[in-house]
Amino acid sequence: MKTFRHCLIFVSSILISLFSVFGSANADGHKEFKLGVVTFLSGPAAEPFGVPAWNGGKLFIDLLNAGNAPAPYDKVGFGGMKITAIPIDESGGATKQVQEFRNLVQRDKVDAVLGYVSSGDCMAIPSVADELKALTVLYDCGTPRVFEDASYKYVFRTAAHAAMDNIAIARYLMGKGYDVSSIAGINQNYAWGKDSWKDFNVSIKKLSPNSEIKNELFPKIFAGQYGTEISALMNSKAKVVHSSLWGGDLQSFILQAKPRGLFKRTQVVFSAGDHVMPGLGNKYPEGVILGARGQYGMMAPDTALNRWFYKAYMDKYGVFPAQPPYRMVQGLMGLKMAIEKAMDNNGGKRPNKDQIATAFTGLEWEAPGGLVQMKLGNGHQAIQPHAIGKTVKDKDGNITITDIVRYSANCVNPPNGIKAVDWIEAGFPGSDCK
């Protein structure tokens, strides 16, 4: 009987606390824009992506709410509406995320959701978003399939998909005259790794038909130990080793491969290699060719907007911003521009979801990483310019990036209506690489 009472107290205290929190969360205002922000706050993708992205997002939202961002982002919040952000942890898999998304939309009644690093989540969310008619901005995930396999009305991706990363690296290797007669790859055994490797090796084959594949390694995600893989890569004697590893896996790989001389013996290319630079510092190897999934961080263009963002982030967090904060800020800027455009079209009144979605379609805006254009997926998928560079030690002994080559968005992204894989296999028809 005693346990029964205990338990009753326990269960009811949980329910009471839940409902009291829930009840108090109903503050609503006409001048407020509720934004659900979903990104990794725990798990292996938190430290390299989720947390720095949200740091950048928080910083930018605070600056927007204070009206302290430079033009054209100088209006307070989103078109005068203060932004209230509700952060949600992305970890736990797509099943959990669909439910969290529903909770954000139906329980918290957010005006928009911005988020998703994982491709699996980006595949799962859009159909629910359209079903619930919820404005959704995918800010980071890589898979091209989101808008290639389907079309959505209320879903937008404000960053280029992953095909660009690998096409640009292939073009860089060719353009700079590297020997690509034999290539090898080490990529994680899931969609991201397999797609990245396929995009890369097909691109290389198209640009240099005699190139031969020596070794294709697919260690499982979060393996952490790469001793055997490094031996295999050393033995294969491939001229170029490609990898799309990220986060802790990339750090482990670098730390294990560097003492064994892999980076000295062969040309290593990382399709998304910059986000571990703040963590690794000078332990990052020299002579590595890398992309940042856009013109981000050390490869960002020298514009007033970028200088402002770089400095604001550096001042606040003490490290330079790598790709994640750039991508989240890019998404927030796009959303802000879409809302303000819709507001203008609506005579200065608060626009509804449909008006924002219409304004968002095909939108273009200037972000710290360059001009973002919603050109693919019938105006729902962004393309952006890209940059590839090579690491080098500067005179103070710090690792930095030189030999940066910039690619226009149309050079490394497929045109509207053709799948990225088909475009690569057709030999990049219609690409514009001035």
Partner 1 sequence: MTHKFYNNLIVQSIFLMSVLIIVGLFIPNWLVFVITKAIAYGLVALGIVTLMRGGLVSFGQGFVFAIGGYTAGLLGTQAGLTDAVLLLFISFLFTGFVGLIFGPLLARYRDIFFAMLSLAFSMVLYGVLIKIDAIGGSDGFVLPESTYFGILPSSDYADYALYVVSIILTGIVSVLLRYYYNSTPGLIALAVRENELRVEYLGASAFRVTVLNFTIAAGLGGMGGALNGIALGHIDPEFSYWTTSGEFVFISILAGYLSVPAVFLAALLLELVRSFSGRYFPDTWQLILGVFLILSIIYIPTGIGSFFKKFMDKLNKKKNE
Contact positions vs partner 1 (CB under 8 A): 3-4, 6-7, 10-11, 14, 18, 21-22, 25, 41-42, 86-89, 93-96, 98-100, 102-103, 106-108, 119-120, 123-124, 126-128, 131-133, 143, 145, 149-150, 189-192, 194
Of 106 and 398, nearer to partner 1 (C-beta) is 106
Query: What's the min distance (Å) between Cβ of 414 and partner 1?
Result: 19
Query: At closest approach, how far in Å is the CB of 433 from partner 1?
Result: 30
Q: How far is the CB of 204 from partner 1 (least distance, A)?
A: 20
Question: Dihedral sign, CA of 349, 354, 360, 361?
Answer: negative
Task: Give the SS3 label for residue 199.
Answer: helix
Reading the block at residue 411, the tokens are 């050079």
Shortest separation between residue 306's beta carbon and partner 1, angstroms: 29
**Cα-flanking dihedrals φ and ψ of residue 211, to 5°?**
-65, 145
Decide whether 84 or 295 has the Cβ nearer to partner 1.
84
Nearer to partner 1 by C-beta: 189 or 402? 189
DSSP state string for 407-427? E-HHHHSPPTTS-HHHHHHTT
Nearer to partner 1, 26 or 210 (CB): 26
CA 308 to chain centre: 21
Shortest spacing between CB 15 and partner 1, in angstroms: 8
3-class SS of residue 381: strand
Residue closer to partner 1, measured from CB, 98 or 404? 98
Choice between 102 and 353, CB closer to partner 1: 102
Q: How far is the CB of 138 from partner 1 (least distance, A)?
A: 13
Nearer to partner 1, 95 or 228 (CB): 95
Q: Which amino acid is at 37?
A: V
CA distance 424 to 432: 14
Rounded least distance, CB 312 to partner 1, Å: 23
SS3 assignment, position 37? strand
Contact 136, 155 (CB under 8 A): yes
Closer by beta carbon to partner 1, 101 or else 310: 101
What whole-number distance in Å separates Cα of residue 362 and Cα of residue 346?
18
Q: Are 135 and 169 spatial neighbours (Cβ–Cβ below 8 Å)? A: no
Helix (H) or strand (E) holding 243, with range, is strand 240-243
Query: In the complex, what is the shortest distance from the CB of residue 339 to partner 1, in angstroms, rounded to a whole number?
Result: 24
Q: At what angle do helices 247-257 and 227-236 cross, to 10 degrees?
A: 60
Phi, psi of 375 (to 5 degrees): -110, -30
**Least CB distance to partner 1 at residue 131 (A):** 5
Can you list the alpha helix ranges (DSSP code H) found in 25-143? 51-65, 93-102, 119-131
Asked if residue 187 lies in contact with residue 197, where contact means CB atoms within 8 angstroms, the answer is yes
Pairing type for strands 364-367 and 289-291 reads unpaired
Shortest spacing between CB 51 and partner 1, in angstroms: 9
Half-sphere exposure of 232 (CA within 13 A, CB side): 14
* CB nearer to partner 1: pick between 107 and 283: 107
- Which of 106/400 has CB closer to partner 1? 106
> Residue 220 phi/psi, 5° resolution?
-75, 155
